[in-house]
Structure 1
Amino acid sequence: MKELITDLQNAQVGRVAENEPMAKHTTWKIGGPADVFIEPDGVDGLVETMNLIQKHQVPWRAVGRGSNLLVDDAGIEGAVIKLGQNISHLEIEDDIIRVGGGYSFIKLATIISKKGLSGLEFAGGIPGTVGGAVFMNAGAHGSDMSDILIEARVLYPDGSLAWVKNEDMDFSYRTSILQKQQGICVEARLQMQQGDKSSIVEEMQKHKSYRRQTQPWNYPCAGSVFRNPLPEHAGALIEKSGLKGYRIGGAQISELHGNFIVNVDNAKAQDVLAIISHVQEAIKKRYDIDMRTEVELVKRQA
């Protein structure tokens, strides 16, 4: 690992840190240290980072704002690559957007709505980055990324960059091909529609207000913990099971929304994992439904 760190620093790829606490980089404010933490200073730095990681055969993963991530208290083995402000360019040409993978999804939705472009109203309250939204096929209110993505530029482990068209992204509910084969969404081209600015802004504000009223963003959290086992909804099943307010350690199922687990008092990953297991067992016993997590659980290998 030392050799990788030295090579990364010599190559001046961007910020490089050893044993960086992941609690600093997740919206849950939970997570032990990453062996190596890299925040590349641009696409070239990102490509060089990947080349060096492959040279040293170090396991890796990419993160954005960490809004959909539960990192184990023991931390993350290998390298963590963060796509941040240095990979957050934005170009708007008529109704086509080209945007960096590190760009804030909420900020993008706000800017686009004020330009009278429709298509991102659903994203008004979704935390995270554009790259993360593509990875998860993020969505709400009946829309998701698969509806607007033209193509995504993906960095592969061998250091190659390629544009992947929508039809090749293998999109489904909260899923894309990037969850099945390793790759980083470096940027995306999105198709918008011209519309009435006031109506678009009003629609997005309505979604934002709904989220503020129904979701507990006053505590560190990661958004929805479980995927909806359609046609059922995870939050409703949890609430009907009387689990609102259920607490282990510093983590608690929100009193406001059953599908949110909040960090109320310096929660550990093991607290959240224990609640997740309890919910899965309770819902399986009561409804014979398997509850799959929407958040990604990252454990250090033994």
Structure 2
Amino acid sequence: MYLGKMEILENEPLAPYAYTQAGGPADFLAQPETIEELRSLLNWAQERELPIFAFGRLSNIVVRNGGLKGLVILLSNLKTIEQIDATTIRAQAGCDLIWAANQALAWHLSGLEWGAGIPGSVGGAVFMNAGAYGGQADMVVQQVSALMPDGQLVTFTKDQLAFGYRQSVFQDNGGVIVSADFALKPADPALIQAQMDENNYRRASKQPLNYPSNGSVFKRPVGHFAGKLIMDAGLQGSRRGGVEVSKKHAGFMVNVDRGNGNDYEDLIHHVQATIKAQDGLDLETEVRIMGER
């Protein structure tokens, strides 16, 4: 079906869109190309009392086999990025974080080097307050624009974003992130490039990038590292269906043989139960598990 010129797909499998290459179908799926199309989608869903799920690259999501009941909005076509003053860039929510980091480099601006290898979107990075290698979204995000459930485009200043460890206000307020402004610093591009190269080398040498995955599955427990706990428990190589605890990095779960969303969830629960029994610790997921079994 179509909403204006925008196609809305029905019963659309999510696996081809997801970094895990796993996930059940969405009742409805659309990919708006403008903010007005996004607003019209929100209105369309609300008129039908449909739940709304907005994603960038589906890189931190586990969708169960039963899929998502409602409207899934993929923001990957909202991907423009611009330099709005000497030290500030504005990127739309669907812009790849890797691309944003490279554009910052092209403009001789430092502050996004940590995102040079993160396979996610700007919107997802803000939503989850993503970070790596000593950098994090809340260190550089200046303000964020979002479409709220009532259709209003609202700008949130930094002190309104309620950033925490893998947390932001958008996990509770129903807003769909449209764009983010990053406050960066002028720097020698050679030094920026060197830091990005170092981060990407560390990532490639330690992480199982040859298999589909969601990156780090668990948040860091206070005083511990999730990957080390999992490794010390002898869980590397453990499998449920086609999903395996990576033998290269214990904090990752990789899709090695046509695994599905339920396989991911089952393996997550197995790891959590084992660590709870052996170490008395509750591992909290960094990835979000969603949908129907």
TM-score class, shorter: over 0.9
Matched, 1:282 2:241: no
Partners of 2:56 and 2:260 in 1: how far apart? 21
Q: Tell me the equivalent position of 1:252.
A: 244
Q: How does 1:170-189 map to 2 (within 5 A)?
A: 170-189=162-181
Matched, 1:100 2:92: yes
Cα displacement string for residues 61-109 of structure 1 (whole angstroms, at most 9, x for unaligned residues):
1011100010011111010001012x11111131100110110001111
Amino acid in structure 1 at the alignment position of 2:122: V
Matched, 1:88 2:79: yes
Q: How does 1:44-83 map to 2 (within 5 A)?
A: 44-83=36-75
Q: Which ranges of 4 or more aligned residues in structure 1 deviate by more than 3 Å?
A: none
Q: For the structure 1 residues 10 and 275, does the alpha-carbon distance in structure 2 shift closer, same or farther, using more than 3 Å as the test?
A: closer
Please report the RMSD computed on the Cα atoms of aligned residues, expressed in angstroms: 1.1
1:223 aligned counterpart, secondary structure: strand
Q: How does 1:104-253 map to 2 (within 5 A)?
A: 104-253=96-245
Partners of 2:199 and 2:250 in 1: how far apart? 19
Structure 1 unaligned spans of 5+: none
CA contact (8 A) 1:148 1:191 kept: yes
Partners of 1:109 and 1:124 in 2: how far apart? 5
Partners of 1:289 and 1:10 in 2: how far apart? 48
1:35 aligned counterpart, secondary structure: strand
1:36 aligned counterpart, secondary structure: strand
Q: Tell me the equivalent position of 1:38.
A: 30
When normalised by structure 1's length, the TM-score is 0.94
Structure 2 unaligned spans of 5+: none
**Aligned-residue offset at 1:10:** 4.0
Identity %: 37
Amino acid in structure 2 at the alignment position of 1:111: Q
Q: For the structure 1 residues 281 and 10, does the alpha-carbon distance in structure 2 shift closer, same or farther, using more than 3 Å as the test?
A: closer
Amino acid in structure 1 at the alignment position of 2:48: H
Amino acid in structure 2 at the alignment position of 1:34: A
Partners of 1:194 and 1:22 in 2: how far apart? 40
CA contact (8 A) 1:38 1:80 kept: yes
Partners of 1:90 and 1:180 in 2: how far apart? 26
Of the candidates 11, 22, 43, which is equivalent to residue 4 of structure 2?
11
Partners of 2:27 and 2:183 in 1: how far apart? 38
Partners of 1:229 and 1:185 in 2: how far apart? 28
**Aligned-residue offset at 1:171:** 0.3
Q: For the structure 1 residues 10 and 176, does the alpha-carbon distance in structure 2 shift closer, same or farther, using more than 3 Å as the test?
A: closer
**Aligned-residue offset at 1:37:** 0.2
Cα displacement string for residues 246-293 of structure 1 (whole angstroms, at most 9, x for unaligned residues):
112111000000110000000022211111111111111111111010
Q: For the structure 1 residues 202 and 296, does the alpha-carbon distance in structure 2 shift closer, same or farther, using more than 3 Å as the test?
A: same
Cα displacement string for residues 217-274 of structure 1 (whole angstroms, at most 9, x for unaligned residues):
1011111110111221111111111111111211100000011000000002221111
**Aligned-residue offset at 1:34:** 0.3
Partners of 1:228 and 1:250 in 2: how far apart? 25
Partners of 2:199 and 2:40 in 1: how far apart? 40
Partners of 1:168 and 1:73 in 2: how far apart? 36
Partners of 1:219 and 1:126 in 2: how far apart? 15
**Aligned-residue offset at 1:214:** 0.5
CA contact (8 A) 1:15 1:41 kept: no
Q: Which moved more, 1:253-262 or 1:110-119?
A: 110-119
CA contact (8 A) 2:64 2:265 kept: no
Partners of 2:62 and 2:99 in 1: how far apart? 23
CA contact (8 A) 2:89 2:181 kept: yes
